[in-house]
Structure 1
Amino acid sequence: MNITDLSFVSRGERNTNWDVPPTDDYIAACARGDEMAVEYMQYLRLNPGLKGSNLLGAIIKDARTQDNPGYLVGFLGTVERMMCKGLAERDPMQDLIDTRAYYARAETERNAAIAA
C-alpha cells in the first residue's frame, strides 16, 4: 500500500496529505474524518517501518479546517480513541526510554561510520 492509496492524499498538481472537499455538513464531515483516520491507521499497520516518521504531523500540517473542521475533529477523535486503547497495553514512559536508546545507538553508529 502506498501513501497515495489513502483517499484523502493527493500528489501531482495538488501535493497534499489532506485533500477533502468543502462542505457545510459538520456531522457528515466528522463521519468522513473517522473513516479517513481508519484508512490512515490501516496504512500504518501495513507499513510498520513508518513508525515515528511524523506522517501524522504532515497530515495535520496540511489540514485546512476552512473546508470544514468536522473532518479534523472526526479524524483526530478516532486516532485518539485508538491511541488510548494502545496505551492500555503499552507504557508511554517505556516507549520514550526505548526511543531514546534507539537514537543513541543510531548516533553511535553514525559517528563510528564517520570516523572510519
Structure 2
Amino acid sequence: MKSVADTGRSDDLSFVVLKGKAGGGFDYWNVESTGDYSADCELGRRLGVEYLEYIGLHPTNGNVSLLGCIVDSMMARRREPHTSYGRHATGVEIAFLATVNGYAMATSKVVTDQDA
C-alpha cells in the first residue's frame, strides 16, 4: 500500500490510480477483495481512515465530491462479473463506508451540539 503523499491529488490515496485508457481520469476504487470477510473489513477500515486523513489535510473544493467518485467506482467494480461476490459489496466497501459514516456522525453531533 503506497503512503499518502502531500501533493493534494486524489491519486495520492493508495486505492486511487490513473486510468490508462483513452479519456484518462482516475479509478477511485482500485481495491480487490481478499475473499476473507474479516481481512476485507480490516482493509476497509484502514482505507477509510486513510481517506479521512487525506481530506483533513486537503479540504479543497475538488475533494468535496471525492467520496461520490469513490462510491461510483466501488459500484462499477462490484458490478463486474469476475468478482466472487457478484453485485454485492464486500467487507472492504462495507467497512470503508462504516468508518467514514462513523466520523460523519461524530462530526455532526459536535456541530449539532454547538448549534443548540
TM-score of the pair, normalised by structure 2: 0.69
The alpha carbon displacement at 1:51 in A equals 7.4
Q: Percent identity?
A: 32
Cα distance between partner residues in 2 of 1:41 and 1:6: 10
Cα distance between partner residues in 2 of 1:55 and 1:40: 9
Q: Does 1:59 align with 2:80?
A: no
Cα distance between partner residues in 2 of 1:78 and 1:9: 18
User: Which residue is 1:103 aligned to?
Assistant: none
Cα distance between partner residues in 2 of 1:50 and 1:29: 30
The answer to whether the 8 A contact 1:23-1:67 is kept is no
The alpha carbon displacement at 1:49 in A equals 1.7
The answer to whether the 8 A contact 1:21-1:67 is kept is no
Q: Trace 1:49-88 onto structure 2 (pairs within 5 A).
A: 49-50=60-61, 53-63=64-74, 64-65=77-78, 66=83, 69-88=90-109
User: Which residue is 2:34 aligned to?
Assistant: 23
Task: Provide closer, same or farther for how the CA distance between residues 35 and 67 of structure 1 changes in structure 2, counting only shifts above 3 A.
Answer: farther
**Matching residue's letter, 1:84:** M
The answer to whether the 8 A contact 2:33-2:92 is kept is no
The alpha carbon displacement at 1:76 in A equals 0.5
Task: Provide closer, same or farther for how the CA distance between residues 25 and 71 of structure 1 changes in structure 2, counting only shifts above 3 A.
Answer: same
**Greater C-alpha Rg:** 1
Unaligned runs of 5+ in 2: 1-5
CA RMSD, Structure 1 to Structure 2 (Å): 2.4
User: Which residue is 2:17 aligned to?
Assistant: 10
Unaligned runs of 5+ in 1: 95-116
User: Which residue is 1:39 aligned to?
Assistant: 50
Deviates more, 1:44-53 or 1:73-82: 44-53
* Structure 2 residue matching 1:89: 3-state secondary structure: helix
TM-score of the pair, normalised by structure 1: 0.69
